[in-house]
Every structure is written in C-alpha cells, then in structure tokens.
Amino acid sequence: MQEIEADRGRFRLTRRAVLRTGAAALASGTGFARAQAAARPIPVGSAAEIGAFRNDARYREALKRYCDVVVPMNDLKWDALRHERARFDFAGADEAVAFAEANGKALRGHTLLWGEALPPWVKEMTTRAEAERELVNHIEVVVDRYKGRIATWDVVNEVIKYDPTSGGPWRDTIWQRLLGPEHVEIAFRTAGRTDPKARLVLNDFHFEEAEPGAAARRQVALDICRRLKDKGIPVHGIGMQAHLYAEKNIDTEGLQRFMRDLDALGLDVEVTELDVIDWKMPADAALRDKRSAALVATFLEAVVSAKRPKAIVTWGLTDRYSWVGETFPRKDSAKARPLPLDADYRAKPMLAVLERYRRGTA
Ligand code: XIL
C-alpha cells in the first residue's frame, strides 16, 4: 500500500488509507470496526538469544530490520541473573537492552517469576519467609534497574497447571510449594509498586488448541487476573506464548471468546513466543513452511478479529537458532523450521504474514 509511511522502522497508515480501507470494507460487507482495527499496524518483534546476538552479525541485522520489539530470550531469567545468590549479573540483559535502545526498539522483560530456569539455591529454599524475601527483593532490584526502559514485563510465566481440570489450577513450582497461590499476587504487587508505569502481564501457553485443557487454561488465566483486579493488584494483560503445534488445529471460536472476556475485564493481550513446532510434519521444507505460515495466519486472524494485540513476538527469528529442534526432536534428521527466517536468513512465508500485521495491511 503506497500510503504507508516508514517512520523510524515502524509503519503508520495515513488517514486517507484508513478511510479507504474502511470504505472498501463497508462495500464488501465486512464490519468497519473490524477493518479499522485490523488495518492498524501492530508492533512485531522477536526474542533475542544472547549467544547468537554476540557472535552473528546477520542475527543483529535481522533484529534491526524485522523487529519493533526485542525480548532478551534468557538473560532476565533467574538462572542468568542470580547464578550466585549474593549478587546479580546483568551483563547479558544490559547488552540486549542497550542494543534495543540504540536501535529504537521497545522492550519486553521475560520473566520475573517462573518455576524453571532457576539456579540450584532457589530450589533449595525451605521456608515461606525465605521465598517471599527472595522473590520480593529480586523483583524490586530487576524492575528498578530497567524502570522506564522495559515497558512490559512477563511478571509470571507458566503458573497454570498444564491441565487444570485434573487437580489444578496451579502449576507445581518451588514458588507454589512455599508461597501457595499468593506467589502470583506478591509478584504483581511488587512489580507494580517498583515501576507503576510498567505494563504487567501474565504469560502462559496452550491457550489456542481445540482441546478441553486449553479452554480450562483460558478460564484459569481469566480467573487469576479477575482476582488480582478485585484485590486492587495491578495486572494489564495476558501473554499468549503461542508455540503452535503444526499437527493441531486452532480453536478460533474459543480464542475469540477469550479475547472478548479479556476485553470485558479491561485486559490487553499480546502474543509473546510465537513459533511452530513442526516435529510431526513430513520432512519436505516447502510443505512445512506453507503449513506454518497458514497456521500462524489462522491463529493471528482469530485473535485480531476479536482484539488487537499490543505486540506479536516470535521466539527467535531464524531457524538457525531455536529451542524447538531440541525440545521437540523429529524422528528423521530434518532440521526444525519454526521461525519466520530460514537458517540462512531467507524470508519464509511466515514472515510475509507477520509483515502484513506489522504494516497494518492484514
Ligand atoms: C527457552 C529458550 O528459548 C531456550 O534457549 C532455553 O534453553 C530454555 O527456554 N517457554 C518460555 C521460554 O517461557 O522462556 C522458553 O525459552 C520456551 C518455552
């Protein structure tokens, strides 16, 4: 669309283009509100893995070119920051944050509380008082360091049980064991107190599948946020990780209902870790890429048709570096192809889908 103006790496629709899109939508019978909502650009970005970031200039160039938002992939996790109990190591996080700032990228912080990626000493804690003291101190120090710079925090990550219908709803973590459900309240309250302007998000996975477990997880996420709000504890949105399984279908209706429920609670949504797990797909690369792009398009369309996400973030940019191959190994020797760029930084069909949202032409 010619009216799109480049603006420091972001894109803005001119008024004329918006009006024309609306008029076309009216003429074609599509809802005007829907067309307007979809026609606004959505910030798109990626998690950045520090090893690739340091060693691969092409990786840094790709981050500059394709991202409005950058997320340190592992460097804000406890095992990176708190390897030693007595001191914080901000080396990796500072590097990623400085890069984002120098290149005009927004930042998401991942994550202040998780049951994984913990240094051994955390798992050895035994008392409630100790857990609370460490959690509060950690969040105060980390959020304060990046106050006004990291605009959005995944305050809690994966606190919902995988299938909450069987003995749920909380995931069994050291935080849940020592603090009970209050661990979530403590985390949000402390983050909000430390940086009152930050956007605070509950981040979790397995919301989009057409399975009873996913519906139950959506309900639990809503309930947690409603309870926080009832208690006056700040929470601003839900992050959907969206690690999509290529062999599964998207529950479009379920997602749309979820978006409406979030809206009714005054919550935002964002897509935080998008990629495609293609372990059960045939090896043929073109076929896999086509399926992945279609799946991502279906997922994003389901979300955006009901609610505009604050951001769409993929969990990495290039198939060269991704957790998917290791975590979801294939039976053959083919490499995983979960991301928008291939292992040689060539654009895949998934990238075109994302760029449409980024430009506001989806
Ligand atoms: C993964 C990283 O991508 C890997 O590099 C790391 O070894 C393990 O963690 N859900 C999350 C992310 O919230 O933090 C995980 O990231 C992927 C699953």
116-130: pLDDT as tens digits? 999 999 999 999 999
Whether the predicted pLDDT of 150 surpasses 70: yes
pLDDT at 91 over 60: yes
Q: 73, 241, 318: which to mutate for ligand 1, most atoms within 8 A of CB?
A: 73
For ligand 1, mutation pick of 204, 273, 313, 327 (most atoms within 8 Å of CB): 273
String of DSSP letters for 210-243: SSHHHHHHHHHHHHHHHHHHHTT----EEEE--E
Q: What is the pLDDT of residue 334?
A: 98
Active site residue 134: no
Q: What's residue 278's pLDDT?
A: 98
More confident residue, 20 or 201: 201
C-alpha 31 to ligand 1 mean position (Å): 38
The CATH number of 42-358 is: 3.20.20.80
Can 158 be counted among the known catalytic residues?
Answer: yes
pLDDT of residue 220: 98
Query: How does residue 167 score in pLDDT terms, banded at 50, 70 and 90?
Result: confident
- Compute the average pLDDT of residues 216-229: 98
**pLDDT at residue 9 tops 70:** no
pLDDT of residue 7: 31
pLDDT of residue 320: 98
CA distance 233 to 90: 28
Low-confidence winner among 4-8, 53-57, 197-201, 226-230 (lowest mean pLDDT): 4-8
Torsion of CA 318, 324, 326, 328, to 10 degrees: -150
Q: What is the mean pLDDT of residues 236-262?
A: 98
CA of 114 to the centre of ligand 1 (A): 11
Mean pLDDT lowest among 19-28, 32-41, 83-92, 158-167: 19-28
Q: pTM higher than 0.75 for the full model?
A: yes
* Count of residues in the chain: 362
Give 126 Cα–ligand 1 centroid separation in angstroms. Answer: 26
The confidence band for 345, taking pLDDT boundaries of 50, 70 and 90, is very high
The amino acid occupying position 178 is L
Task: Kindly state the average pLDDT of the residues 175-193.
Answer: 98
CATH 3.20.20.80 boundaries in the chain? 42-358
Q: Is 259 left (phi over 0), alpha (psi -120 to 50) or beta?
A: alpha
- Contact between 93 and 76 (Cβ < 8 Å): yes
Amino acid letter at 316?
Answer: G
Atom of ligand 1 nearest to the CA of 47: 3
150 CA → ligand 1 middle, Å: 19
Round the average pLDDT of the chain to a whole number and report it.
Answer: 91
How many Cα atoms within 13 Å fall on the side-chain side of residue 49?
Answer: 17
Q: Which of 76, 160, 323 to mutate to test the pocket of ligand 1 (most atoms within 8 A of CB)?
A: 323
